[in-house]
Chain A
Amino acid sequence: MSTDPPLPHPELLAAIPRLRRYARVLTGETTRADDLVQETLARAWEKRRLWAAGTDLRAWLFTIMHNVFVNQRALARRDAQNVSLDGDEDGNAAWQIPVRAMQQTRVELIEVLREVGRLPVDQRAVLMLAAVEEMRYEEIATVLSIPIGTVMSRLSRAREKLRRVAQATPAEPSTLKIVK
């Protein structure tokens, strides 16, 4: 509707890299991630009257993305009963983002990316929002529609897992080939 106030285009555009990154972390894959971002932007425009101008656009977009993701996952799970998708029933399969697409050259960093990919998707989400997006716990709770207590427990579980991996694997260089 032309009567609705438009969303601020530069801000929306600026949010795309963050949305894509988060979508990749959720879906574990680049193509599905971009579909998710596209769907999120479409929803954002549909629901633009629900966005209060001046409030944090990023958090609002992440909230929409979370809802779209949850719905898509539910649909995929329903389809899975008929079609049988391999190993992705909980959305917990390790991700398939190729090392090259990760643009990383340090083994340490590649290892971190891999380990994040091995976390259950719920923990991945909280870890990304807290540690990388630096959102406040209250914001994360809103984005994911979960209580703050759950945010905290998922976060501490995720960090604990990464820590244990970091301690158990003290650098195994040479075995990784980096495609540049």
Chain B
Amino acid sequence: MSPLPLTDADLNAYVDGALAPARVFDVEQALAKDPAIAIRVNEMRQQNALLREAFDPWLADPIPAVLVDAARAPQARLPWRRFAPYFAIAATLMLGVASGWYLRDATLERSGTPTTFARQAALTHVLYAGDVNRPVEIWAAEEKRLVTWLSRRLGFAVHAPDLNSAGFALVGGRLVAGNERPTALFMYENADKQRLSLQVRKQPPGTSDVAFRYAIEDGVGVYYWIDEVCAYALSGQLDRTQMLSIGRLVYAQLATPEPGQSK
């Protein structure tokens, strides 16, 4: 029996991995025989990659406070926000303390302080650590390529610390469009499939150092510190002691500058 002629829908489904296995065979045969089909499939793949590259940075936009609040259970929300914007002004006057706290929060969010950094790191961690299929852009098998690529994109030399002694193996890494500047993300996983992520970005000149700090952002523990060159955040849903010991391990490895590393 000769196969049904291939349609555009078949090729689309093939590229999206949605084609029935029997039909995949037909497409692959056609691919081998007909260069025009191979070109078409390749174009679709490139188009997909381009689309993802174009739209993925949007994911790193800071989330407005009003949406963070909307994600909370209705009874956990600050009461006045439910009536916003209609009674926002009146409510602000009545709930001076609560809204004062909120405004302080919102200000921090805007100005890119260490608090924002920790929060952003936690959100980014949740976003990618939960992704079973594509937590990273480049897998650990290609660690060298990963490191070269990230160093180039970030404009300084980064490397993935070795956390095997803590039971965490490198899964891979990706570039994250941070709040202000690009951030490298290294993902690690242990035998229990728990994931940790280390995010590194360059600090704007003139920011002050921050010694080891711990924050819990939306259920994710974040250890972060800032030295004269970079800001680091280690995020994961582990207990604090474990996070601290891994944090120290990372710190010890990253604090040793690579030979020839530029500032």
| A interface with B by C-beta (< 8 Å) | 2, 6-7, 9-14, 16-18, 20-21, 24-25, 34, 37-38, 41-42, 45, 102-104, 108-110, 112-113, 116, 127-128, 130-132, 134, 136-137, 152-153, 155-156, 159-160, 162-163, 166
Interface set, chain B 50-80, CB cutoff 8 A to A? 50-61, 63-64, 66-68, 70-75
Cα distance A25–B61 in the bound complex, in angstroms: 15
With contact pairs A134-B134, A137-B13, A152-B9 given, residues A13 and B57 touching in the complex (Cβ less than 8 Å): no
Q: Is the CB of B58 within 8 A of A13?
A: no
Q: Is the CB of A130 within 8 A of B16?
A: yes
Q: When each residue 8-30 of chain B gets 1 if its CB lies under 8 Å from chain A and 0 otherwise, what string results?
A: 11001100101000000000000
Cα distance A134–B48 in the bound complex, in angstroms: 10
Partner of B58, one of A17, A34, A37, A108: A17
Chain-A contact segment, one of B101-109, B122-130, B144-152: B122-130
How many B residues have CB within 8 A of the partner chain?
A: 43
Partner of B66, one of A38, A134, A160: A38
Most buried by A among B9, B12, B52, B123: B12
Q: A10-B218, A24-B58, A137-B16 are in contact. List 7 more A-B contacts (CB 8 A).
A: A9-B73, A10-B220, A13-B63, A16-B67, A17-B59, A21-B58, A152-B12
| B interface with A by C-beta (< 8 Å) | 8-9, 12-13, 16, 18, 43-44, 47-48, 50-61, 63-64, 66-68, 70-75, 123, 126-127, 130, 133-134, 177, 218-220
User: Nearest Cβ distance between residue B199 and chain A, in whole angstroms?
Assistant: 15
